[in-house]
């Protein structure tokens, strides 16, 4: 009964131009709208008006691809976690660090599809190495130290 009474009261207030209590549906819509407005409030956000090509150039200028940095970060991650695998495929690498042999726990090393012409002698220290993919590079020779682990 209370629900019917409230509905009639709200109807009367609307007819008379008074502020009626919102219906449940209206309240849900108002809540949803307010939530969306809060989620997408961009009034305090700055936007760039530069053309897309300028934005791409700025991004490239600020964060150039640096293969040496990729190696450092991946090796550091491998050392810290003790991960048995390191994937450096398709990273445009031309060299590997001389101290690569310090990754003594390494069991799987992937350096295919790069531009390597030589490999460091320290690879011979990777006695746990079980899988080594160096295909699709420009290697002229393999270091003698690798023969001991093959």
The residue range of the domain holding 9 is 2-29
| pLDDT at residue 53 tops 60 | no
Residue 76 lies in a domain: yes
Supply the pTM of this predicted model: 0.56
What residues contact 129, with CB distance under 8 A and at least 6 apart?
106, 107, 108, 109, 123, 149
- Residue whose token pair is 């940095």: 69
List, in sequence order, the alpha helices (H) in the chain: 2-15, 24-39, 52-62, 67-81
Q: Which residue has the higher pLDDT, 80 or 16?
A: 80
| pLDDT at residue 49 tops 50 | no
pLDDT score recorded for residue 110 = 96
Average pLDDT for the chain: 74
Based on the fold, state whether residues 25 and 72 are members of the same structural domain: no
pLDDT score recorded for residue 133 = 96
CATH number of the domain at 93, please.
Answer: 3.80.10.10
Number of domains in the chain: 2
Residue 59 lies in a domain: no
Residue 17 lies in a domain: yes
């Amino acid at each position: 009964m209370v629900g019917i009474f409230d509905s009639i009261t709200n109807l009367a207030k609307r007819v008379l131009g008074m502020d009626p209590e919102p219906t449940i549906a209206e309240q849900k819509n108002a809540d949803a709208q307010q939530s969306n407005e809060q989620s997408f409030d961009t009034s305090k956000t700055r936007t760039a008006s530069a053309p897309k090509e300028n934005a791409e150039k700025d991004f490239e200028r600020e964060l150039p691809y640096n293969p040496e940095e990729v190696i450092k970060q991946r090796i550091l991650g491998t050392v810290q976690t003790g991960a048995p695998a390191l994937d450096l495929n398709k990273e445009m690498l031309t060299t590997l660090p001389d101290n690569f042999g310090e990754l003594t726990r390494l069991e799987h090393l992937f350096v295919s599809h790069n531009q390597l012409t030589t490999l460091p002698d320290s690879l011979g220290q990777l006695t746990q190495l079980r899988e080594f993919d160096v295909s699709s590079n420009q290697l002229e020779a393999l270091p003698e130290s690798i023969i001991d682990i093959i």
